[in-house]
Amino acid sequence: MNAFLAIVAILGVSASGPLMAGANAPALAIGFWRNALGTAVVAPFAARTIRRELTGLGLEGWYATVFAGVMLAVHFATWVSALKMTSVAAATAMVSMQVVFVVVIDLLRGKRTPPAVVAGVSIAVVGVLVITGVDFSLSARAVAGDLLALVGGLTAALYLMAGSRVRESVSTTSYTVACYGICAVTLAISCLVAQVEMVDFSGHTWLAIVGVTICAQLLGHSVLNHLLAVMSPGLISLLLLFEVPGAAILAGVFLDQTPPVGVYVGLALILAGLVVVVIRRPPPAEVLPD
């Protein structure tokens, strides 16, 4: 049963990128609705504890929570934009570099890192260079998409690191509602300032937006968080890496995206490097809502 749930979860998170890439709506609006709907889905489960837990956070805890929510907003804004500019395969591979950014930030803070992890990071970086090199030969727009996806990976890492201490005293549901809510408000303000359309979409686009919430939130990350009770965080982290080839396959089937062979070579290098990093240095157990 757990194996079946794991397959459902990987398919759910893998569908996130292709669905958002296929939605004919501005990136900021997609990010807003993804988080607003996600907040609405999770909020009822946090109703009993959220007020008590959040009031006990303290000023430092609230600073960290707000920072995490804003970083999550930047993550969605950049990653969804990247999906509109480069292939789903490239964008998903780049944003998965969040694990690498966590390691690099730890290194900059003077934290000792095993040589095997450094080797894994190096392999993943080579994969990034391969993909950007291939995309550079295609168009400047594709390279810009790659860079935006990397920013999405960096801000995802900052989101995870900022929330790690808060999560020590706050439940998953309460913290998720707070972060999703702050993220949604940040993106809503961005939409208003940029005068981005937020409502007038086709039925197909609304289905894609709702589909992202159902697939990524309910069938994806919620199931993975459930599996953390019976599987190790390291195994969950390894399972999450299947999102990269999963998203590439789904984009090929439903969006008819066939990137050059070089993109898949870079993707393979990134995955190989990330596997080494995850095995030698398991990332936080929290599941990022893609």
What residues contact residue 180 under an 8 Å CB cut-off, 6+ apart?
35, 36, 38, 39, 42, 69, 72, 289
pTM: 0.93
Structure tokens at 187: 């993106």
The whole-number pLDDT of residue 269 equals 97
58: left (phi over 0), alpha (psi -120 to 50) or beta: left
Question: Is residue 213 within 8 Å of residue 72, measured between CB atoms?
Answer: no
pLDDT 10s digits, 105-159: 988 988 888 999 999 999 999 999 999 999 998 899 999 999 999 999 999 999 9
Q: At what angle do helices 233-240 and 261-280 cross, to 10 degrees?
A: 170
The whole-number pLDDT of residue 56 equals 84
